[in-house]
Amino acid sequence: MSPRIDTQADLQAALKRLLKADPRLKPVFELAGMPPLRRRSGGLAGLATIVVSQQVSVASAGAIWARLEAALDPFDHASVARARPDRLRRIGLSAGKIRTLKALAKAERLGEIDLAGLADHPADTAHAMLTALHGIGPWTADIYLLACLGHADAWPAGDLALQEAYRIAFALEARPTTKDMGPLAEIWRPWRGVAARLLWSYYRAVKGRDAAPLPPPTLPKRRS
C-alpha cells in the first residue's frame, strides 16, 4: 500500500523523511515553513470538484458547485447519470465538463474504476488509471490523487507554479518542462506529493501569492 497523507501529523512526519532524503530542500523549508494539508473529500464528488473548478475563478467554481450539489442531492453516479444536460448547462457547466462528469458516473456505475481506492495503488499506476477516463488529463489526475486521496507520491509535473518554484529553488536559468519534472523528482519518491506541497508553499513565500491548485475549502460539502 502506498503511503498516505491524511493528517497534518502525517505531513510533518513525511516532510521530515523528505528533508533527510534530500538535504537540498532544507533552505526551501526554512523559507516556506510547514505546508498546509489542504485535504478534500475523495470519490466521485471530489474528482467532480476539480473538474468543475478548471478554467474558472475560485468564486465561480464555488458558486457552480453549490448549485450542482443542491440540484443533485445526493451527489453520486446515479444522480449524475439522471441529470439532463440542459439542466447542467443552466447550473453553469460547459458541454465538455458535462461529458466528463457523465463519463465518470458511467465508469463508476459499471465498476470500471474505484475512485476512492486509487490511494492504495502506486502513484504512476493510479495516474494511468485516471487518465484513461474520458476528460481526465494528467494535471487533473495528479491533483485528485494529491488533494482528495492524500497520495504521498502524486507529482503534478505539468503544474506551472510547481515548475517555477523548482526553477527558483534550484537557481535554474529556465523553468523545467513537464517532461523535465519527472526525472528531477525521482530522488523524492515515495514523497513526491510532499515535495509538491513544500514547493507550492515556497512559491507563495517567494512570490507573495498562493499558487497551490487545489479546490477551495468549500468544495465539496462534507455530509454527516
Whether 188 and 162 have beta carbons less than 8 Å apart is answered as no
Whether 116 and 149 have beta carbons less than 8 Å apart is answered as yes
Residue 217, pLDDT > 50, answer: no
Burial class (CB in 10 A: 0-12, 13-18, 19+), 61: buried
**Predicted pLDDT of residue 163:** 97
Q: Bigger pLDDT: 56 or 132?
A: 132
Q: What domains does the chain contain, in order, with CATH numbers?
A: 8-39+153-207 (1.10.1670.40), 43-148 (1.10.340.30)
The conformation of residue 148, written as its DSSP 8-state character, comes to I
pLDDT digits (tens, 9 = 90+) for 158-211: 999 999 999 999 999 999 999 999 999 999 999 999 999 999 999 999 998 887
Q: Return the closest-CA partner of residue 148 out of 11, 1, 9, 43.
A: 43
The pTM assigned to this predicted structure is 0.90
